[in-house]
């Protein structure tokens, strides 16, 4: 079950970004100035990139900033959760 949750955290937002880009490629051009930022977001911070796509077209205000911070924390948790779960495996 843990592998399923980890797979959803890692691949879920990336699949959503690909589908969203295929359906509405103009939104990416409206939100991002260059191709570098969404590609790096796709690779490194997919939840934050996905939330930024949701929040940015209307302007980012108080609630959107809170949601962006939560998305960033989910990205960090997706990377750091595996390290925390495996902390006892490397003890000698």
Name the pTM for this structure.
0.78
14-48 pLDDT, tens digit each: 999 999 999 988 888 888 888 898 899 899 999 99
Phi, psi of 18 (to 5 degrees): -65, -45
pLDDT tens per residue across span 56-89: 887 888 888 999 999 999 888 877 766 666 666 6
Q: Any idea where the domains of the chain sit in the sequence? A: 2-85
Are the C-beta atoms of 57 and 27 separated by less than 8 Å? yes
pLDDT of residue 49: 92
Instruction: Tell me if residue 38 falls in helix, strand or coil.
Output: helix
CA distance 29 to 92: 51
């Amino acid at each position: 079950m843990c592998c399923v949750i980890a797979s959803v955290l890692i691949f879920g937002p990336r699949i959503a970004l690909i589908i969203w880009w295929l359906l509405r490629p103009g939104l990416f051009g409206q939100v991002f100035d260059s191709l570098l930022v969404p590609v790096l977001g796709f690779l490194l911070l997919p939840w934050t990139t996905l939330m930024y796509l949701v929040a940015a077209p209307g302007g980012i205000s108080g609630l959107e900033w809170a949601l962006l911070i939560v998305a960033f924390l989910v990205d960090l948790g997706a990377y750091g959760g595996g390290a925390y779960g495996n902390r006892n495996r490397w003890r000698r």
